[in-house]
Chains A and B, each alone.
Chain A
Amino acid sequence: MLALLQVLLSGLVTGSLYGLLALGIVLIYRTTGVLNFAYGALAATVTSFLYVLLTGPRLPFWPALLLSLLFALLLGALVERGFARPLLAAPILTKAIATLALALVLQTVVQALWPQLTSPVHFPTPFEGHALHFGGLYLSLVDGLTLLTMVLLLIVLQLFLLRTRLGMAMRATADSLEAARLMGIPVGLIFLLVWMLASLLAAVAGILIAARQTVIDVQFMDPVLLLAFIGAVLGGLDRLEGAVLGGALVGLAENVLALLLAGHSLGALDLGNPGIREALIFAGFVLLLLLRPRGLFGGAALRRV
């Protein structure tokens, strides 16, 4: 029983990280029609930036974190103006494929600037080695911070989107670009803000994941992004709540599968192997999509022209 609770707790932590990434993916997709496969690379670029600040000039953690989050906002703005804006009218598939190119560009630039990140390096944080205990349950400090950050971010984001004029304008732009223009909403500014916000979410997720893993390289977000995408699609791709729930579901499934499969083998095949786990998640995902093509929580048909 305790083992199961422990697994569910870890599942919740991984799930909230996937959910956070899925949230950014859906936010960008809904407002600008970009299926952003460069989202992981964005997160990795900011995390690498933080790594360099921590190890190069040896800045203290919190100021370095603050600088990195500012860098994330700047990077989001740059990518919107230099990449997404010129492609605004392009077909959705063109945009999606262009993001693959963007991911490569970002990774190449990071490698060129900071070659040490080509191979795995230790990502130092003040949280490493600290843990919280609740009864028999164990929660590392990073995991606790992850859950706390996630809850706070969701509350702030929800208040922003529901209560502020700007947040409302973002949702309106996502609903109908043309009508938003007719209301006199500066949609260009909205696109810029959406990318900056999404880039910030990616940075937070990337840094938390790096702090959990304690080891990063330039591609450390790639496997994570794939699972986050599954979460986003499970959530229906068009709803923010769906994205968070979809991400959480993937995280839980991953951890529960790990518990169930550990120590078992099928012939010579070790079922505890993480590769088996991922294969099972993908298989389940495909099966679910066959049964519910719009995702678990998706309401409206997927359309974006």
Chain B
Amino acid sequence: MLRVENLRAGYGPLEILHGVSLEVPAGSLVALLGANGAGKTTLMRAMTGLLPAWSGRILFAGQEVQRASVERRVRLGLGLVPEGRELFPSLSVRENLLMGAFTRRGRAAIEADIERVLTCFPRLKERLALPAASLSGGEGQMLAIGRALMSRPRLLLIDELSQGLAPAIVESVLAVLVRLNRDEGLTILLVEQNARKALKVASLAYVLQSGSIVLQGQPADLAASPAIQHLYLGGEAKVEGSDEQNLDARSLVRGSLNNEARGEE
């Protein structure tokens, strides 16, 4: 479905991605893990075309798209739920969903897909006419996913699903995504700081660190690996590593605790 080969990209003179390669097989749910500043969001932006790729290749649905416009990639079936959701705050929930279907024609099919999104996220139903700015964090994430689904993507990229959300909300949104993946064959690339939850649902996982893929494999193997346990799961396992890594691990644990504690409403 998607293959990234030796992708380099960055901002201004600063290279963030130092030759990233990864593959998302059709029908899979892939987790991409990494600490703050690892380059996860930069990778998402380069994949969708919001950020130009310096070099390397991005193959999507059998085509080279690293030079293609965002619009072209959306039309090919690439959908992104961006970090921070990026809703249209002054537009109503319904209008946000309609904008998600901007590249499509056919009113009836679009209306049917709005119904489909509302079936996935019933909480949005009573909010349809309200501006997106009035939504809670969880509802906002549901709308961001629903909006991305409205373009009928073949591959859905989700950047930081759990950011700022209560654990219960994350669970229920994840359940919807797993169902879409299993029942409708939607391919999903899930970018997460919360490694434990992502590894539980994924069929393949990558770890991005300082702009390079440092680990990849079956989620079960990754979850069991001491390095991952220590770095991303806050486990007890002892690992040999530099002090710097240990410091990273501590701040990561604190970060994820904050996320869990902050809650939503």
Asked if A165 is an interface residue, CB under 8 A from chain B, the answer is: yes
Collect the chain A residues with CB atoms within 8 Å of residue B91's CB: 168, 171-172, 175
Q: How far is the CA of A126 from the CA of B111 in the complex (A)?
A: 50
Q: With A178-B82, A179-B87, A183-B151 as given contacts, are A172 and B99 in contact (CB-CB < 8 Å)?
A: yes
Q: How far is the CA of A143 from the CA of B200 in the complex (A)?
A: 70
Asked if B74 is an interface residue, CB under 8 A from chain A, the answer is: yes
Q: With A182-B82, A183-B102, A184-B151 as given contacts, are A176 and B50 in contact (CB-CB < 8 Å)?
A: no
Contact across chains for A183 and B95 when beta carbons are under 8 A apart: no
Give A129 Cβ to nearest chain B Cβ, in Å.
45
Contact across chains for B99 and A169 when beta carbons are under 8 A apart: yes
Q: How far is the CA of A197 from the CA of B48 in the complex (A)?
A: 30
Q: How far is the CA of A176 from the CA of B88 in the complex (A)?
A: 6
Asked if B70 is an interface residue, CB under 8 A from chain A, the answer is: yes
Asked if B98 is an interface residue, CB under 8 A from chain A, the answer is: yes
Number of residues from B at the complex interface, CB < 8 A: 22
Q: With A179-B82, A185-B102 as given contacts, are A172 and B74 in contact (CB-CB < 8 Å)?
A: no
Q: Name A238's closest neighbour in chain B (CB-CB).
A: B90
Q: Name A173's closest neighbour in chain B (CB-CB).
A: B88
Give B92 Cβ to nearest chain A Cβ, in Å.
10
CB-contacts of B80-113 with A (<8 A): 80, 82, 86-91, 95, 98-100, 102-103
Collect the chain B residues with CB atoms within 8 Å of residue A178's CB: 50, 82, 86
Give A175 Cβ to nearest chain B Cβ, in Å.
4
Asked if A181 is an interface residue, CB under 8 A from chain B, the answer is: yes
Asked if B115 is an interface residue, CB under 8 A from chain A, the answer is: no
Asked if B75 is an interface residue, CB under 8 A from chain A, the answer is: yes
Asked if B71 is an interface residue, CB under 8 A from chain A, the answer is: yes
User: In the complex, which of the residues B70, B87, B90 contacts A184, with contact meaning CB atoms closer than 8 Å?
Assistant: B70
Number of residues from A at the complex interface, CB < 8 A: 17
Give A126 Cβ to nearest chain B Cβ, in Å.
41
Contact across chains for B82 and A184 when beta carbons are under 8 A apart: no
Q: How far is the CA of A217 from the CA of B228 in the complex (A)?
A: 74
Q: How far is the CA of A8 from the CA of B210 in the complex (A)?
A: 66
Asked if A120 is an interface residue, CB under 8 A from chain B, the answer is: no
Give B190 Cβ to nearest chain A Cβ, in Å.
17
Collect the chain B residues with CB atoms within 8 Å of residue A274's CB: none
Contact across chains for A175 and B50 when beta carbons are under 8 A apart: no
Q: How far is the CA of A176 from the CA of B103 in the complex (A)?
A: 17
Collect the chain B residues with CB atoms within 8 Å of residue A182's CB: 48, 50, 70, 74, 80, 82, 86
Q: Which of A174, A175, A185 has the most CB atoms of chain B within a 10 A radius of its CB?
A: A175
Give A193 Cβ to nearest chain B Cβ, in Å.
15
Contact across chains for B86 and A183 when beta carbons are under 8 A apart: no
Q: How far is the CA of A179 from the CA of B91 in the complex (A)?
A: 12
Q: How far is the CA of A176 from the CA of B83 in the complex (A)?
A: 13
Contact across chains for B87 and A176 when beta carbons are under 8 A apart: yes
Collect the chain B residues with CB atoms within 8 Å of residue A144's CB: none
Give B15 Cβ to nearest chain A Cβ, in Å.
20
Q: Which of A169, A172, A180, A182 has the most CB atoms of chain B within a 10 A radius of its CB?
A: A182
Contact across chains for B100 and A183 when beta carbons are under 8 A apart: yes
User: In the complex, which of the residues B71, B75, B90, B103 contacts A171, with contact meaning CB atoms closer than 8 Å?
Assistant: B90
CB-contacts of A174-204 with B (<8 A): 174-176, 178-186
Collect the chain B residues with CB atoms within 8 Å of residue A181's CB: 50, 70-71
Give A256 Cβ to nearest chain B Cβ, in Å.
33
Collect the chain A residues with CB atoms within 8 Å of residue B74's CB: 182-184
Collect the chain A residues with CB atoms within 8 Å of residue B151's CB: 183-184
Q: With A178-B50, A178-B82, A179-B82 as given contacts, are A185 and B87 in contact (CB-CB < 8 Å)?
A: no
Contact across chains for A186 and B71 when beta carbons are under 8 A apart: yes
Give B149 Cβ to nearest chain A Cβ, in Å.
12
CB-contacts of B53-92 with A (<8 A): 70-71, 74-75, 80, 82, 86-91
Q: Name A186's closest neighbour in chain B (CB-CB).
A: B71
Q: Which of A168, A169, A186 has the most CB atoms of chain B within a 10 A radius of its CB?
A: A168
Contact across chains for B86 and A165 when beta carbons are under 8 A apart: no
Collect the chain B residues with CB atoms within 8 Å of residue A186's CB: 71
Give B102 Cβ to nearest chain A Cβ, in Å.
5
Collect the chain B residues with CB atoms within 8 Å of residue A175's CB: 88-91
Contact across chains for A184 and B86 when beta carbons are under 8 A apart: no
Contact across chains for B88 and A185 when beta carbons are under 8 A apart: no
Q: A171-B90, A176-B88, A182-B70 are in contact. List 6 more A-B contacts (CB 8 A).
A: A172-B95, A176-B89, A181-B50, A181-B71, A183-B100, A185-B99
Interface set of B (CB-CB < 8 Å, partner A): 48, 50, 70-71, 74-75, 80, 82, 86-91, 95, 98-100, 102-103, 147, 151
> What are 18 A-B contacts with C-beta separation under 8 Å?
A165-B98, A165-B102, A168-B91, A171-B91, A171-B95, A172-B88, A174-B90, A175-B88, A175-B90, A179-B88, A180-B88, A181-B50, A182-B48, A183-B99, A183-B100, A183-B151, A184-B102, A184-B151
Q: Which 9 A-B pairs have the closest CB atoms?
A: A184-B74, A184-B103, A179-B86, A175-B88, A184-B71, A172-B88, A183-B102, A181-B70, A172-B99
